[in-house]
Amino acid sequence: MVVKLLVALAVSLVSFSGAAQVVSPTYRSRLSTSAGVGMDYMSGDWGAGDVNRWGPSAWATLTIWHDVSIIAEGHSMDVGGNHEASNYKYFTGGGGLIYTSDYWGRFQPFVEGEAGYASLTHPPNGTGHFHDTSNIWTLGGGAEYHTKGRFWTRVGYSYDFFPNFHDVVTNQNHSLNPRGFTFGETYRFGPSGSRF
């Protein structure tokens, strides 16, 4: 259900034009890059869902074709939270593709899909170990707002799929789904960094 909701959100944010586009002969394709840092506020998908923690995040993009870029991104949740969260730490690193749509005033919405690797330290779950690692998949989206000059404020949402986690209650493996919001600032390099 959540995946269907994210796909519907992505389709509604992205506008595809079927009209032919003419490019000036003097136009030169340029790679554009950006880098940013921020904070995550994520829910750990553990127990009653009361594991909510903060953590630093960082990202970088390289535009490869029109509005499609490659993104490398890292997230964490290891600061704050209640007693239930004190034994829960989650770190991810990954990369994939990000599509950034046209400008809506000073806003630019984006959708992304990534593959990566995650490290999870967790409370006891009856298996006798307290740490798991796995390949993960991430779907996300959000928007960047042109703040000033080359700086853009970023708000994003990500939904992770951490597969094959053993549930001692059902004695089966299933996917954990840590998810949450990222808030931060992006610096865009190149000639289009300050344009909106």
Note whether residue 24 is domain-resident.
no
Q: What SS3 class is residue 127?
A: coil
Confidence label for 191 from pLDDT (cuts 50, 70 and 90): confident
Note whether residue 108 is domain-resident.
yes
Note whether residue 195 is domain-resident.
no
Note whether residue 27 is domain-resident.
no
Nearest to 47 by CA among 181, 176, 157, 180: 176
Q: How far apart are CA 165 and CA 46, in angstroms?
A: 11
Find the CATH number of the domain harbouring 131: 2.40.160.20
Q: Which residues pair with 131 in a beta bridge?
A: 121
Nearest to 122 by CA among 169, 157, 166, 179: 166
The amino acid that residue 115 corresponds to is A
19-28, 35-44, 78-87, 159-168 — which one is most confidently predicted on average? 35-44
Structural domain including 55 reads: 2-11+33-188
Mean of the per-residue pLDDT values of the chain: 82
Note whether residue 18 is domain-resident.
no
Q: Higher pLDDT residue, 73 or 22?
A: 73
Q: Would you state the pLDDT for residue 110?
A: 97
**Residue 178 pLDDT > 60:** yes
Task: With beta carbons less than 8 A apart as the criterion, state whether 174 and 167 touch.
Answer: yes
Tell me how many helices (H) and strands (E) the chain has. 1, 9
Confidence label for 154 from pLDDT (cuts 50, 70 and 90): very high
Note whether residue 157 is domain-resident.
yes
What kind and span of H or E run contains 3? helix 2-13
Note whether residue 94 is domain-resident.
yes
pLDDT tens digits, 24-40: 433 334 568 999 999 99
Q: Would you state the pLDDT for residue 112?
A: 97
Looking up tokens 């994210």, which residue turns up?
6
pLDDT tens digits, 110-144: 999 999 999 998 877 777 778 889 999 999 999 99
Total domains in the fold of the chain:
1
The CA-based diameter of the chain, rounded to the nearest angstrom, is 65
Instruction: Return all residues near 147 (Cβ < 8 A) that are at least 6 apart.
Output: 153, 185
Note whether residue 54 is domain-resident.
yes
Confidence label for 66 from pLDDT (cuts 50, 70 and 90): confident
